[in-house]
Amino acid sequence: MHYKEMNEEQLQEVAMVEIAATILEDTKEPFEYHELLKRVGDIKGYTEEDLMKRIANLYTDMSMDGRFVNLGNARWGLRGWYPFDQTEEELSAEATRERKRRAREREEEEEELYGDDAEEFDEFEDLEDELDDLANEEDAGDEFDELDDTDNDSFPADEFDNSDSEFEDDDEEV
């Protein structure tokens, strides 16, 4: 039975993963996980707090259920949409292309905002220069370099005489 035909009591008995599968079947397109979770929660009448308590449950159920496939970038689809011989790498390659496309869009937006200086802008440049200056000052004032360069590799004689140690066991019985 489709979730749209169920009353509230029946909806509460149906597993979230079943409703998620029905949503994906109806729309015939992949969903971002949080969007799918929100739709399932709306159908089941969950509050935001209820959803946060169940966020991992749906994810785990979808991961273990053979009908679902994780497409990367938190996007989920139905395995039946993809040919059997299509590997997970091919599915994740699609997600990689999507990430690269978004990165290009961000770069274009930055270029529009900052003009030609977008590539030359380094927000940490001043901090890096300051740290370099501090490191150079520290190296210049290093007092221990002179001691490190001596040829004398001998060590002073022990100040303690091992024969007169006050911590020796005297084999006294207590």
What DSSP string runs through 17-36?
HHHHHHHHHHH-S-EEHHHH
Check whether 20 has a pLDDT greater than 70: yes
Tokens linked to 97: 């292309």
Whether 39 has a pLDDT exceeding 90, the answer reads yes
Superfamily of domain 3-82 in the CATH hierarchy: RNA polymerase, subunit delta, N-terminal domain (1.10.10.1250)
Residues 72, 95: contact at Cβ < 8 Å?
yes
pLDDT reading at 163 higher than 80: no
Name the β-bridge partners of 130. none
pLDDT surpasses 90 at 37: yes
So what's the pLDDT on residue 18? Answer: 92
Highest average pLDDT, of 26-30, 135-139, 148-152, comes from 26-30
Res 41 pLDDT > 80 = yes
**Domain extents for the chain?**
3-82, 85-140
Give the model's confidence band at 149: pLDDT under 50 very low, under 70 low, under 90 confident, else very high: low
Is residue 161 over pLDDT 60? no
Cβ distance 65 to 58 under 8 Å?
Answer: no
Give residue 123's pLDDT band: very low, low, confident or very high (50, 70, 90).
confident
* pLDDT average, residue stretch 147-162: 57
* pLDDT at res. 34: 93
CA–CA dist 27, 83 (Å, integer):
19
Query: At 82, is the secondary structure helix, strand, or coil?
Result: coil
Determine the average pLDDT of the residues in 85-97.
60
